[in-house]
Chains A and B, each alone.
Chain A
Amino acid sequence: MSITRRAFNRAALAGAGLAAAGPFAGGLIRPASAAERLLVVQWGAQWIEVSKQIAADFNKTNDTQIAWELHSGGSAAVIAKIKAVWPNTQYNVLSVWDPVFRTLIKEDWLVPIDESIVTNLATIPDQFIQKNDKGQKMTVPLSTAGAFWGYRDDLLPGGFDSIEDLLRPEFKGKLCVPYPINLTGLFIVSCAIQRGGDEKNAEPGWDFVKELASKGQIGEICTSNSEYINAMATGQYSVGFWNNGGWFATAKNFPVKLKNRMPDNKGFLYNEGFCVLKGCPEKAAFEFANFFAEPKMNELYNMNLGSGPTQPSAKTNPMLVDWYYKPDELAKYAYFADFAYLSSVMNEWNARWEREIVPLVRRG
C-alpha cells in the first residue's frame, strides 16, 4: 500500500514489463521508451470519469501507465502536500485552473511545455496559455470555463436585469454565493465591476457585498461545487454566482438562465488544464497532455463538463450555446481577471471576509 519513491520507481519498472506484454505483444516496442508511470491529480465526479475514458484510449497507443488521485480539498490542499515533501513529490501532472497555475509558476515547480511533443498546443489560442517570466509556455489549457451570475427560471420567471436589483426586499435570503476564496474572489470582483471598480480597485465591490449582507440577501455561502449544486437544488435560492460546472449540473435538473450579458456587468472567463511538475518523466507527461489536447479528445472532455473546448475546431455542448461568448462579444461582456494579482490578495480578502462580512450575514 505504502510506496516510497524508490519502491514506486521499481513498481513502475515492473509495471513496464506487464504493459509491454499487453498491447505491444506484437513486438512494436520502442526500446528507448520503457513504460513510465504517471500520477495525475484530477477532480472527482465527471472530471475523473471522462478522464479515465480518454486515458483508456491513450493507452491503446501508448504504454505509459496512468494512476489518478483526486483533489480532496480545495486545489491548494494538494499544494500543501507537495510543499511538505518538495522536491520529492509523487505527483507528475496536475489538473488545475488559472489562479493555481499562477501560484505553481511562482513557486517554480513547473516544467515548460515542450511544443515538439505537445504539438496540439499550436492550435490552442495563445491567450489561453499561462507563461512564466521568460515567456515560456507552462500550461496545456483544456477547457474554457467561467463564473457567471444566473438564476432558476422556474423560481424567478424573467429573472433580473442588473445585480443592483438583488438589493430589493424580494431577494432577501434568495442569493447563493461563493465563499470569497472559492473562485479566487471573482464574486467580489463582479460586485466591484458593478460599482465601477475592478480587482485592483475592489473597495466598491466590498461595499456592495456589505449592502447585500446587511440586508440579509445572502442565503447561503458555498465552498464547493457540490454544496452549490445541492443548495440550488433545494429551491430555497433563486439567484447565484458560480462557475459553469455548478450551473451545468443544476441545468441538468432545473431550468437555468445565465446572466452573462448584462449591460453593467461582465462574465469571467478562465482556463482549466494540465501542467507538468518538475522531476517527472517529462516525455510521458507531455505525450499524455498532448493526447488530451487533441481536438477530438478536447471535444469529448468538455462535452461532459459543461465547459468550452480550447481547440477552435472542437464542438461545444449544445446546452452551452449561450453560455460562452462569440468572438465579437468578448470585448463587451467577457472579463479576464488578473489571477496573479488575485492570488496575491486572497489571504487578505479571506481575512477581510471573516472580519467584515460574516458578522453582517450572521445578523441577517
Chain B
Amino acid sequence: MSKRIADALFEAAYLSLITLFIAFSVIPVLVALVLSFDARGFMGPFPPTQFSLRWYERFLADDYYHAGLATSLIVATVATLIATLAGTLAAIALSRATFRGRAALQAALLSPLVVPNVVLGFGMLVFAARLGIVDGMTRLIMGHVLITFPYVMRTTAASLVGIRASYYEAALSLGAQPWKALVQVTLPLARTGILAGATFGFVTSFDDVGVSLFLTDAFTYTLPVAILAQMRANLDLTIAALSVIFVVATVLLIVLLDRLAGLDAIVGRGVYGR
C-alpha cells in the first residue's frame, strides 16, 4: 500500500518536473514569437498592442545584418568542424589514456568552459596582435575554436561513459585494426555525444557575444555583435525576429532530417536502444 502511494507521489513529481521543463522552454519561444511582431520601438508591457512586420523587414532589408549572418555562419561552421575533429579524438584518447597528468591535461583542455568569454576574447585580441594577426576572420575563428572545443570534448566524453572499452578491445581481439575498431565500434556508439557536442559547439559559437566583441574588425563582424551594436543605442527587436527565423529553420531542418534519415539514425539509440 505505502509502496503504491510512494510510487504515485514519485510519478506525480516526475511528471510535474517534466511539465515545468516544457513550460520553461516553450514560454520564451512563444514570447519571442509575439515580440517579433511587436510594432512598438520600446519594451512596453506585455502583450503588445500593435503588431507589424517591421523587424522582419528590417532584417531582410539591411545588408549590415546579412554580412553579419554570413560571417557568423562561416565562423561557427569552421570552428565547429575543427573543434569536433580535434575534440572527439581527444575525448576518446583521454578516455583510454593512463599516463600521469591525464586528469590535468583534460582539465586544461576543458578550461575555456569556465573562463568568462570576455576574458578569452580580450586575451585572444592581445595574443593575435602580438602575433601580428589583425585579420578579423582569423582572429574570430581562433577565438571560436577555443570556446567550441570544450563542448565537443565534454559531451563526447560524457557519452563514452557507458561505452565500455571492452567493446573496442573485443573488436581488437577479433582481429580488427585499431582505426577500424575506432571507426566501426567506438565512433558509432559515441555518435549521439559527438553530434550533440558539435551542435552545442555550433550554437555556442553562433550565439557568442563575449569573445566576438573583441575579435571582430571593421569588415568582419558576427551577427550577435551587429545586433548588440544596434541594441545598445536603441531597442531593436530584429533579434527576436531572427530568433524566430532560426528556431523555425532548425525545426524544419530536424523534420527534414527525420524524413530523410530518421532522427534515430542521427541522434542514435545508444548501446541499449529499444
A residues 143-197 touching B (CB-CB < 8 Å): none
Contacts A72-B225, A80-B214, A230-B42 hold; do A44 and B230 have CB atoms under 8 A apart? Answer: yes
Q: What is the CA–CA distance of A225 and B43 in the complex, to the nearest angstrom?
A: 13
A-side contacts of B228, CB under 8 Å: 72
Q: Which stretch of A85-93, A102-110, A209-217 is in the interface? A: A85-93
8 further A-B contacts with Cβ under 8 Å, apart from A70-B233, A224-B231, are: A43-B233, A44-B233, A67-B218, A81-B214, A229-B234, A234-B44, A249-B41, A253-B42
Q: Which stretch of A1-9, A129-137, A320-328 is in the interface? A: A1-9
Contacts A1-B220, A70-B226, A72-B228 hold; do A230 and B138 have CB atoms under 8 A apart? Answer: no
A77 touches B213 (CB 8 A): yes
Q: Is A235's beta carbon under 8 Å from chain B?
A: yes
B219 touches A3 (CB 8 A): yes
B-side contacts of A250, CB under 8 Å: 42
Q: List 8 A-B contacts (CB under 8 A).
A: A1-B136, A44-B234, A45-B236, A69-B221, A70-B64, A77-B214, A84-B125, A249-B42
B residues 203-233 touching A (CB-CB < 8 Å): 213-214, 216-221, 225-226, 228-233
Q: Which residue of A lies closest to B129 (CB)?
A: A84
Q: Is B137's beta carbon under 8 Å from chain A?
A: yes
Contacts A80-B122, A80-B214, A81-B214 hold; do A2 and B219 have CB atoms under 8 A apart? Answer: yes
Q: Out of A43, A90, A225, A235, which one reaches B218, CB within 8 Å?
A: A90
B-side contacts of A77, CB under 8 Å: 213-214
B129 touches A72 (CB 8 A): no
B74 touches A1 (CB 8 A): yes
A residues 222-249 touching B (CB-CB < 8 Å): 224-226, 229-230, 233-235, 245, 249
B233 touches A46 (CB 8 A): yes
A91 touches B218 (CB 8 A): yes
Q: Is A73's beta carbon under 8 Å from chain B?
A: yes
Q: Is B126's beta carbon under 8 Å from chain A?
A: yes
A-side contacts of B71, CB under 8 Å: 1
Tell me the smallest distance from the CB of B15 to a CB of chain A, in Å.
35
B-side contacts of A81, CB under 8 Å: 125, 214, 217
Q: Is B70's beta carbon under 8 Å from chain A?
A: yes
Q: What is the CA–CA distance of A230 and B43 in the complex, to the nearest angstrom?
A: 5
B233 touches A47 (CB 8 A): yes
Q: What is the CA–CA distance of A102 and B38 in the complex, to the nearest angstrom?
A: 40
Q: Is A39's beta carbon under 8 Å from chain B?
A: yes
Q: Is B135's beta carbon under 8 Å from chain A?
A: yes
Q: Out of B136, B221, B233, which one reaches A226, CB within 8 Å?
A: B233
Q: Is A278's beta carbon under 8 Å from chain B?
A: no
Tell me the smallest distance from the CB of B219 to a CB of chain A, in Å.
5
Q: What is the CA–CA distance of A85 and B133 in the complex, to the nearest angstrom?
A: 9
Among A1, A71, A225, A226, which residue has the most Cβ atoms of chain B within 10 A? A1
B-side contacts of A39, CB under 8 Å: 218
B residues 17-55 touching A (CB-CB < 8 Å): 40-45
A71 touches B229 (CB 8 A): yes
Tell me the smallest distance from the CB of A17 to a CB of chain B, in Å.
19
Tell me the smallest distance from the CB of A255 to a CB of chain B, in Å.
14
A229 touches B216 (CB 8 A): no
B42 touches A229 (CB 8 A): yes
B233 touches A225 (CB 8 A): yes
- Which residues of B approach A to under 8 Å, CB–CB? 40-45, 64, 70-71, 74, 122, 125-126, 128-129, 134-138, 213-214, 216-221, 225-226, 228-236
The 0/1 profile, CB within 8 Å of B marked 1, for residues 44-56 of chain A is 1111000000000
A-side contacts of B217, CB under 8 Å: 2, 81, 90
Contacts A84-B126, A253-B42 hold; do A45 and B213 have CB atoms under 8 A apart? Answer: no
Q: Which residue of B lies closest to A91 (CB)?
A: B218
Q: What is the CA–CA distance of A77 and B125 in the complex, to the nearest angstrom?
A: 12
Among B45, B228, B232, B235, which residue has the most Cβ atoms of chain A within 10 A? B232
A44 touches B42 (CB 8 A): no
Contacts A230-B42, A234-B43 hold; do A4 and B135 have CB atoms under 8 A apart? Answer: yes
Q: Which residue of A lies closest to B209 (CB)?
A: A72
Q: What is the CA–CA distance of A252 and B42 in the complex, to the nearest angstrom?
A: 10
A residues 59-98 touching B (CB-CB < 8 Å): 67-73, 77, 80-81, 84-85, 88, 90-91
B231 touches A44 (CB 8 A): yes
A-side contacts of B219, CB under 8 Å: 1-3, 8, 67, 90
Among B129, B214, B233, which residue has the most Cβ atoms of chain A within 10 A? B233
The 0/1 profile, CB within 8 Å of B marked 1, for residues 292-323 of chain A is 00000000000000000000000000000000
Tell me the smallest distance from the CB of A286 to a CB of chain B, in Å.
20
Q: What is the CA–CA distance of A5 and B138 in the complex, to the nearest angstrom?
A: 14
B135 touches A226 (CB 8 A): no
B-side contacts of A47, CB under 8 Å: 233
Tell me the smallest distance from the CB of B236 to a CB of chain A, in Å.
7
Contacts A88-B134, A253-B42 hold; do A226 and B218 have CB atoms under 8 A apart? Answer: no
A-side contacts of B45, CB under 8 Å: 234-235
Q: What is the CA–CA distance of A1 and B71 in the complex, to the nearest angstrom?
A: 8
B-side contacts of A233, CB under 8 Å: 42-44
Q: What is the CA–CA distance of A47 and B229 in the complex, to the nearest angstrom?
A: 12
Q: Out of A2, A70, A253, which one reaches B136, CB within 8 Å?
A: A2
B-side contacts of A5, CB under 8 Å: 134
Among A4, A47, A84, which residue has the most Cβ atoms of chain B within 10 A? A84
B214 touches A225 (CB 8 A): no
Q: Out of A1, A226, A234, which one reaches B231, CB within 8 Å?
A: A226
Q: Which residue of A lies closest to B71 (CB)?
A: A1
Q: What is the CA–CA distance of A250 and B213 in the complex, to the nearest angstrom?
A: 28
Tell me the smallest distance from the CB of A37 to a CB of chain B, in Å.
11
A-side contacts of B232, CB under 8 Å: 43-44, 71-73, 224-226
